[in-house]
Structure 1
Amino acid sequence: MITFLVCLALLVTAYFTYGRYLERLVGIDPAARTPCSRLYDGVDYVPLPRWRIFLIQLLNIAGLGPIFGAVLGAAYGPVAFLWITFGGIFMGAAHDFIAGVISLRHDGASLPETAGVYLGGGMKIVMRLFSAGLMILVGAVFLSQPASLVAARLDVPSLEGIAFGGFSWLLLIVLGVILVYYIAATLLPVDKIIGRIYPVFGFALLFMAVGILVVLLFGGEYTIPEFTSFENCIADAKAFPIVPMLFTTIACGAISGFHATQSPLMARCMRNERESRSVFYGAMISESIIALVWAAIAMAFWGDVAGLNGAIAEYGGQAAVMIDVIANKTLGPALAVFVIFGVVACAITSGDTAFRSARLIVADFMGVEQRTLRKRIYICIPLFALGLLIIFGLPFQTMWSYFAWMNQTLAAVTLWMIVAYLRHRGRAVWVGLIPALVMTYVCASYIFVSPLMLGMQNRTAAYLLGGGVTLAVLVAMIFKLKDNDAKGIS
């Protein structure tokens, strides 16, 4: 319990300390005009109240990550608490905050466009393809999973027993309903659906975390393990070492590149730069707290970390089923319904904004204005078609594995963009540099270590190769920063 409480206190304190430091670092200007006041279009550039933007941002970035990822990542043991806490404070929240401010100061531009400004035209092209691909993948993952959860919860035998291409008719019906919602949320102005219903879903997400937190603190039935060493407690520690596997298993809740693709949506709705800390840094800290709570209950609910690993094996790694079990036992069947509702809402609200982000990314690099509904539809048709191809063509585990690595790779690139931005403004670059080096090493070593990729048996060689890639990236960035200095990048 002590480790958990200390980590919780550090996360809350960081918002008022390190968050304020970052505000001074980037030079927040309350007098600066924001994109929604200069570029209002009634579709994407629409001013919204700060509290509403905060809840939308929290829902956009949360998805299933701080719940599913935290439950599965807790299998590594109490070391997960440290990654969530320090990763969230110094990496994830800083990443989200500065990337959001950069977008805010570049007319709410999408991530590939801002990355192109500070990392060059070649990186802009790569990021356009990479980011759009990741958004479609995220949209597909967060379309299929809530559909599966709802279908399983309804459990209608007459429909469930009829299969079409491996998919039950019930699942296809639910999938279709969610898809219709996704299309509407992607096409309609941001204040029509997202701005109205997201705050409700946001409260559902917070309700889940608060409910579980109350059970942990005052229930008297569960004991949260303490951090005593960096021991890897996962069932197959040899195949899944803490570095880099924990760093990709728990992404949302610590650091996630997906967040930097969502920040431009809210950067186009903010009325003042002063809102940046609460919207970007605050939402990420909130997500870290949610992840911390779910990691704690996952370890405590089954007695200890060994019990959690046993449960993961028993339920085949289906985090949704495990969460349903936890909710029913800790909160009771009535409140458990709200938990499942919140889980489904988290997935849906990240899936629809993933497709919306993909639309904006494509519109930005193609130079297609988005006031006209017809032009928004032209862009969205191929995006949703590709998403459906992924759902029906790839198993969930494969989708999630690709997403995990692409997500953290995107975070590493975003951190290098932050380094270039801070260097240009003559600010302390260590804020971005240290996290950039860590995440570059994580993503590089993952290629050589993960059994889902190369899975090298010689771990020493795998880690050395990861270090070599990281060093090469650092050298390339040094030359790029010098080139930026010579060109006077703005």
Structure 2
Amino acid sequence: MLTFFAAIAILLVGYFTYSRFIEKNFQIEPDRKTPAEALRDNYDFVPMSKGKNAIIELLNIAGTGPIFGPIMGALYGPVAYIWIVVGAIFAGAVHDYMIGMISLRNNGAQLPELASKYLGKPVKHIVNIFAMLLLILVGTVFVTSPANLITSITPDWVTVGAVTGLIFLYYLISTLLPIDKAMGKVYPWFGAVLIISTIAIGVSLIFSGYSLPELTANSLQNFHPKGLAIFPGLFFTVSCGAISGFHATQAPMVSRTIKNEKEGRFTFYGMMIAEAVIAMIWAAAAMSLFNGQTLGQMIDAGTASLVVNEVSYMLLGSFFGSIAIMGVIVLPISSGLSAFRSLRIIVSDYLHIKQDTLKKILAVTIPLYAISFLLTQLDFNALWRYFNWANQVTAVISLLVSTRYLYLKNRNYIVTLVPATFMLYAVVIYILSEPIGFHMGLTTMTYLVGLGLSLAILALFFVSGKKQKEALNPHSELINDHLAIDISN
């Protein structure tokens, strides 16, 4: 139990200390006009309160990631705690803050536009592909997982297919509404359910009499029942609770509704820390209530949703357990909605389809939902593996964008370069070793080839960055943040 409390305390200390350093390094301008005011259209650009922005950001980035991921990460044992804490403070929260604030400085531009501006126009097409792939996978995963959870607490005649159809219908209706109506009105209620249910699980776990695993010299090892390697496996299994590229597609959406740059630290950095706390609670619950073998069998039998059900009922009983499951359900539903909304914006920007009429909005939205519905027929675990890799590749791109931004402005770019380098090596090793990639296995050769490829990518990154910096003049918008990116097409 000491490890659990220490981890939560370190996360909070990280927010109150390291986030201030990151904010100072970014150099906020509280008097600067934000996109919400300068580009207000009462649809995507709408000034909203700090509290609403924060809860929208939390629900947007959370999904089932900080629950399903840590549950599956619990198979590795207490070592998962380390990644959640260190990853969230020094990687995930920095990633979310930087992309959110860089987007805010660029009129709420999405990641592909930011990559084009800071990494070069050819990169924009690559990032667009990854962003669209990631979001369609996220939307699909976050339809499938809540559908399974809902059918687990409803009568047998309620089928997964019927629930899936209803979720898609909700998404379609919400996508057509202005953000302050689609999210601003509903998400505070969703957030209340999430917070109450999470606290209930955490408190019940502490006072339930179960033994929470401690991180000791003896427990600092790999307990995965299938013997899967910690690196890179753990860093893809636990993503949303530590660092997730999906967040880079969501922060720009919220950057369009923030009224003051001072709100960024709480909204972007703070909500990532909140997500890490959720991840810690579910990881601890999974490790405390089940041994590795049982946990692995449950995940194989019904994805992590079966574990969610068992944990909720065991700790809270039938009635309150069902309420807790509802708290979990609102996460993927809210994140799925925001994923499709972001996907619509990215696709419309890329294809230059102005979203100013219902007909144009539907022309982009309906085909996306049709593709996602077809993907729901695939195996969930297979989708999750592809989602994980695309997710972390997007995180690497986001961190490289952030590093280039800081480098061009002569600020401390090490804060983003270190996590970018680590995650770059992880995604290269993952695609080389896994069946979804080159299937080389985790051999010495794989690690050496991965190291060589990672260093080559970083070398190209720094060479291009040096050339870009040398070509700048003192009045360049890359330095002064004065360029208004055209996002109206």
Relative to the length of structure 1, the TM-score reads 0.93
Superposition map of 1:18-29 within 5 A = 18-29=18-29
Q: In the alignment, does 2:71 pair up with 1:83?
A: no
Larger mean Cα displacement after TM superposition, 187-196 or 369-378: 369-378
Larger mean Cα displacement after TM superposition, 347-356 or 192-201: 192-201
SS in 2 for 1:192: helix
Closer/same/farther in 2, CA of residues 227 and 44 from structure 1, 3 Å limit: farther
Distance 2:448 2:359 in 1: 52
User: Which residue of the other structure, out of 160, 169, 174, is the alignment partner of 2:163?
Assistant: 174
Is contact 1:43–1:189 with CA below 8 Å preserved after alignment?
A: yes
Q: CA deviation at 1:313?
A: 1.3
Distance 1:226 1:426 in 2: 40
Aligned match of 2:133: 133
The letter for the 1-side match of 2:422 is V
SS in 2 for 1:191: helix
Aligned match of 2:200: 211
Query: How many residue pairs align between the two structures?
Result: 472
User: Which residue of the other structure, out of 266, 283, 307, is the alignment partner of 2:254?
Assistant: 266
Aligned match of 1:459: 443
Is contact 1:257–1:412 with CA below 8 Å preserved after alignment?
A: yes
Q: CA deviation at 1:355?
A: 0.4
Distance 1:441 1:253 in 2: 19
Is contact 1:132–1:361 with CA below 8 Å preserved after alignment?
A: yes
Distance 1:202 1:380 in 2: 26
SS in 1 for 2:239: coil
Aligned match of 1:196: 185
Is contact 1:41–1:371 with CA below 8 Å preserved after alignment?
A: no
Aligned match of 1:38: 38
Superposition map of 1:6-17 within 5 A = 6-17=6-17
Q: CA deviation at 1:447?
A: 1.4
Aligned match of 1:244: 232
Residues 31-64 of structure 1, C-alpha deviations (whole Å, 9 max, x = no match): 0000010100111001111101101100000000
Unaligned runs of 5+ in 2: 479-489
Aligned match of 1:163: none
Unaligned runs of 5+ in 1: 161-169
User: Which residue of the other structure, out of 388, 410, 419, is the alignment partner of 1:435?
Assistant: 419
The letter for the 2-side match of 1:127 is V
User: Which residue of the other structure, out of 218, 221, 224, is the alignment partner of 2:213?
Assistant: 224
Residues 96-154 of structure 1, C-alpha deviations (whole Å, 9 max, x = no match): 00010000000001111011110111111111121112111111111122122222322
Is contact 1:42–1:371 with CA below 8 Å preserved after alignment?
A: no
Q: CA deviation at 1:209?
A: 2.0
Q: CA deviation at 1:450?
A: 2.6
Residues 253-283 of structure 1, C-alpha deviations (whole Å, 9 max, x = no match): 1000000100011000000000000100000
Superposition map of 1:297-336 within 5 A = 297-302=285-290, 307-316=291-300, 318-336=303-321
Residues 176-222 of structure 1, C-alpha deviations (whole Å, 9 max, x = no match): 11111011122210011211111111122222221122123333333
Q: In the alignment, does 2:371 pair up with 1:383?
A: no
Larger mean Cα displacement after TM superposition, 458-467 or 438-447: 458-467
The letter for the 2-side match of 1:316 is D
Is contact 1:216–1:222 with CA below 8 Å preserved after alignment?
A: no
Distance 2:216 2:117 in 1: 43
Closer/same/farther in 2, CA of residues 90 and 361 from structure 1, 3 Å limit: same
SS in 2 for 1:154: coil
The letter for the 2-side match of 1:234 is H
SS in 2 for 1:195: coil
Aligned match of 1:165: none
Q: CA deviation at 1:4?
A: 1.6
Aligned match of 2:484: none
The letter for the 2-side match of 1:333 is S
SS in 2 for 1:385: helix
Q: In the alignment, does 2:465 pair up with 1:476?
A: no
Aligned match of 2:275: 287
Is contact 2:434–2:441 with CA below 8 Å preserved after alignment?
A: no
The letter for the 2-side match of 1:232 is N
Q: CA deviation at 1:172?
A: 2.1
Pairwise CA RMSD = 1.5
Distance 1:457 1:387 in 2: 31
Distance 1:486 1:461 in 2: 38
Relative to the length of structure 2, the TM-score reads 0.94
Residues 311-346 of structure 1, C-alpha deviations (whole Å, 9 max, x = no match): 321452521111111111111111111111112111
Distance 2:10 2:411 in 1: 25
Distance 1:275 1:322 in 2: 36
Aligned match of 1:164: none
Aligned match of 2:428: 444
Distance 2:276 2:464 in 1: 33
Distance 2:194 2:287 in 1: 20
Distance 1:65 1:309 in 2: 22
Distance 2:410 2:450 in 1: 30
Q: In the alignment, does 2:225 pair up with 1:235?
A: yes
